Amino acid sequence: MRHRFDFDTFREIGDSLFRNKRRTILTGFGIFWGLFMLLFLVGGGKGLKQSLSLTFEGFASNTMVMISSNTSKPYKGMKEGRYWQLNRKDVERLRLLMPELDVVAPMVSNWGLTAEYKGNTTSCAIKGISGNYHKVEAPKLKYGRTIRDADVEQERKVCVIGKRVYNDLFPQGGDPCGTFIQVGSVFFQIIGVDFSSGNISISGSASESVMVPFSVAATLFKRGNNVDIICVTGKPGIKMSSLEPRVRSIMAREHLFDPTDDQAMVVLNTEQVFSIMDNLFRGVNFLIWLVGIGTLLAGAVGVSNIMMVTVRERTIEIGIRRAIGAVPRDILSQIIWESVLLTLTAGSAGIVFSVLILNVVERIVPQAVTFQISFWTAVLAALLLSVLGVLAGLAPAMRAMKVKPVDAMRDE
């Protein structure tokens, strides 16, 4: 008599699994907990990466920021500790000598200033930027536009304000473009509002800044030809780490400091920062899957053990079924189906529970970060459970296939 898989068959499988409820529940909990931990860690790692990415939001990944500093090595008869200053000629020099660069953007800045509009005040920093600076730190404009080359060339007293400055000066909301705010003793016309939320920003946070044309800030702060910072970005396909030695050499030759003196010019290479972050999360993801799969394998071993016990307890039943015509394939199929059913049931509960917990975490975290696992991650987890269920049931199924009717009757 050939055994057929129908509703009665699955009822038999359920009855078999719950003959020892305590053992089945404990084993299922192991699978449930293992899958929950795996998916929770995957979702948590995804959310953490997005949270850190928001820190670098809008910042070009191929940027190099240069700041002049004191020398730490003597050079051509000059003592260490000498300070030198970046200037506008350095900007032109880099543009001419390094065609690999896409953007060369100077900046001057000043902190501790106060902005005022109709009795509302807020602390802020003024950043004097060039018309191409938006390629270094992309703004997230709520209203208006960015600073343009024409604003710099014509020394227009216009500005783009950050999110916090906007909220403090315009608590009622609305488009402030066209209105004038006072910063110190100077009035600037607002042409844009930047809602960038990145925490990494040059010369202060973008949300607390009032960005004005470079030429206006240089005159206002009496900088002459000096600049505080020079930001450069490479053309597509150019690695900034390969350009850094040449940049140092050009600056060292012009300003007379040792090219090997790393402290003479502070260089922030965002390419290295992004590379470190990518490698960090690659390692974190590997660790997450290693721990999660290890936990699932431990649960699969538990499933295999419970199926072994089930086969031993059902030796007589299996022998009788063999005696009345059940073929080994029927016995094999039922044992494996029992194993798969146990892993999938416990695993599905783990998937649902992890989704619920990650949803709670999303609501708690103030940032707009997604912690939820993707649909295909859940599908992959279900497939992995099915494979583990089959593997866990193979050994018990092979043992069940070897049961002979005569031996089963003898055990009885």
Distances (CA, A) of 321 to 6, 114, 170, 400: 17, 89, 82, 11
Q: How far apart are CA 329 and CA 262, in angstroms?
A: 73
8 A C-beta contact, residue 370 and residue 50: yes
Per DSSP, what are the bridge partners of residue 229? 107
Q: What is the pLDDT of residue 1?
A: 41
Q: What is the pLDDT of residue 3?
A: 45
Strand 120-129 and strand 209-213: the pairing is parallel
Q: Establish how many alpha carbons lie within 13 A of residue 395's alpha carbon, considering only the half-sphere containing its beta carbon.
A: 13
The full DSSP string for 35-87 is: HHHHHHHHHHHHHHHHHHHHHTTTB-TTEEEEEE-B-SS-BTTBPTT-B---B
Phi then psi dihedrals of residue 289, to 5 deg:
-65, -35
Smallest CA-to-CA distance from 170 within 119, 207, 233 is with: 119
DSSP state of 226: B
Q: How far apart are CA 27 and CA 300, in angstroms?
A: 9
Q: How far apart are CA 129 and CA 229, in angstroms?
A: 10
Q: What is the pLDDT of residue 5?
A: 46
Q: How far apart are CA 51 and CA 45, in angstroms?
A: 10
pLDDT in tens, 15-57: 554 555 566 666 677 777 777 888 888 888 888 777 776 666 6
Q: What is the pLDDT of residue 12?
A: 52
Could you tell me which residues come within 8 angstroms of residue 376 by beta carbon, excluding any fewer than 6 positions away?
none
List, for the chain, all residue ranges whose pLDDT scores fall below the cut of 70.
Answer: 1-27, 53-59, 197-201, 303, 306-307, 309-328, 330-332, 366-368, 393-412
Q: What is the pLDDT of residue 386?
A: 76
The full DSSP string for 155-193 is: T--EEEEEHHHHHHH-TT-S--TT-EEEETTEEEEEEEE
Q: What is the pLDDT of residue 2?
A: 44
* Alpha-helical segments (H) within 256-364: 270-313, 315-323, 328-364
Q: Residue 235 burial (CB < 10 Å; 0-12/13-18/19+)?
A: exposed
Domain ranges of the chain: 7-55+275-411, 63-270
Q: How far apart are CA 130 and CA 149, in angstroms?
A: 7
